[in-house]
Chain A
Amino acid sequence: MSPMLLNTEDSPPFILELIYRLRIRDVMTRTVISVPRGTRMREVQALMKENTITGIPVAEDGRLLGLVSVDDILNALIDGFIDDVVENRMTRNLIVLEDDMPLSFAISYFEKYRYGRFPILDRSKRLVGIISSRDILIKLLLEFNTEMENLEKQFKWSEGEVPAGSTRCEFAVRKFDFENAGKASFEIKKICKERISDPKIIRRIAVAAYELEMNLVVHSNGGKVFFSWADNKATIVVIDSGPGIPNVEDALREGFTTATEWVQSLGFGAGMGLPNTKRVADEFSIESSPSGTKVTAVIRVNQDEQLPDKEDE
């Protein structure tokens, strides 16, 4: 198994884009702990312990001379030269990387050589950093975080999208999260029960909300359910981040499904979700592209089907 658990060829496109876009200098640790050649092995061992690191370059005036790894220390302990100076015991044939190489180089080097770290030199061969698989994983996590934040911003409630009203709420829904599936619809049904007297209408809203929510779980990369209650109308809008519906007409035909077998074994993906929603809704619209799908379902509620407003509202 690769120490990086990812590779530079068939990782998902977003990861590939990242590891070719990032330079080693964006990822490496810049404050390198190094020692001069006269340092004793025992002192290096103490430095490692103190800083919880497993390799220390030997350098003078920015020139890299060698590297002492935990392995070198172990050998020194076993063979009894722990008080020797590093110059005699360090690893000299080093594999180094340059700071303006893409991160993909570092990943393939970790794969190829199985070392815990690589010293990084700049163009004038000066030691400017050190990189470990930990540095890479942390940087990738931070990049994922930023990317997720950007994605979430796209889902922000926009005024035009869903009508304003006294009641509106939004729920995030994750792909294949069958554990939490239905929570948005539960909440929406609860809100409706407080405002609508006709159970048939509550049920139509609940059916639309649940079908649309389950579509996010089963088919989308994740998205949001928005609900608004205003102007005698219940409006449900679901927006996802892809992958889009290739043929909307097909998706609206009863019995047409793209769900996988295991999803179907749970009782979902029978090709009835969108047709069911369309049937219970007074207004229904759908827009889809590979970057996302938006479905809107509106259910009108006459005044005489509503419960009187509560006083605190």
Chain B
Amino acid sequence: MKISQLETVLGFRTVQNSYEDREMSCGYTSDLLSDVMANAREDCVLITIQAHKNAVAVATMAGIAAILVCNSRPIPDDMIEAARSEGIAVFVTEKSQFIAGGEIYQALSRE
């Protein structure tokens, strides 16, 4: 599954679209950034409610491909800016982490 399919297949809205559209291996759901650092795999999508630029920093350090912000959390401009300069895709959804994670899991399992 490609990163862009988070929008085209699953309907999550893109808010930062300047990224390299590569294969996404898996997802990781967490709001604890240290836990993300320790356990998220590379090239995954981070499913979280942490909508601030420190989440982008963690994604960069951990090699995460995309961030999906759940529960329609407002996304500050400086987060989008940071994600753009690091080439990390950012999506937003009104769904919870549980539902969004479930949908991504299903989509990845079908492959």
Q: CB within 8 Å of B: which residues of A?
A: 178-179, 181-182, 185-186, 189, 199, 203, 206-207, 209-211, 214, 266-268, 270-273, 276, 279
Contact = CB atoms under 8 A, between A and B. Distances in A.
Contacts of B57: 181-182, 185-186, 210
Given A186-B60, A206-B62, A270-B32, A279 B50 contact: no
Nearest to A205: B61
B9 interface: no
Contact of B60 (A179, A189, A270): A189
Given A267-B31, A273-B34, A207 B61 contact: yes
Contacts of B37: 207, 210-211, 272, 276
B54 interface: yes
B36 to A, nearest CB: 8
A272 B32 contact: yes
Interface string B30-56: 011111111000100000101011110
Given A203-B63, A210-B61, A272-B32, A279 B38 contact: yes
Contacts of B60: 182, 186, 189, 206
Interchain residue pairs A-B with the least CB separation, the first 3: A182-B57, A272-B34, A267-B33
Contact of B34 (A179, A181, A185, A211): A211
A181 B55 CA distance: 11
A277 B32 CA distance: 16
Contacts of B61: 182, 185, 189, 203, 206-207, 209-210
A279 B37 CA distance: 12
A211 B61 CA distance: 10
A276 B34 contact: yes
17 contacts: A179-B53, A182-B58, A182-B61, A185-B57, A206-B60, A207-B37, A207-B61, A210-B58, A267-B31, A267-B32, A267-B36, A267-B54, A267-B58, A268-B54, A271-B34, A272-B32, A273-B34
Contacts of B36: 267
A230 B60 CA distance: 24
A181 B57 CA distance: 8
Contacts of A270: 32-35
Of residues B34, B35, B42, B58, which shows the largest number of chain A Cβ atoms within 10 Å of its Cβ? B34
Interface in B89-109: none
Contacts of A279: 38
A266 B56 CA distance: 12
Contact of A203 (B34, B35, B52, B62): B62
A276 B52 CA distance: 22
A181 B58 CA distance: 10
Contacts of B42: 199, 203
Given A189-B61, A199-B63, A267-B33, 6 more contacts: A178-B52, A181-B57, A211-B37, A268-B54, A270-B32, A273-B34
Contacts of A182: 54, 57-58, 60-61
Q: Taking each of B38, B52, B55, which has the highest tally of chain A beta carbons within 10 Å of its own beta carbon?
A: B38
Contact of A276 (B31, B38, B53): B38
Nearest to B85: A186
Contacts of A271: 34
Contacts of B35: 270, 272
A66 to B, nearest CB: 58
Nearest to A186: B60
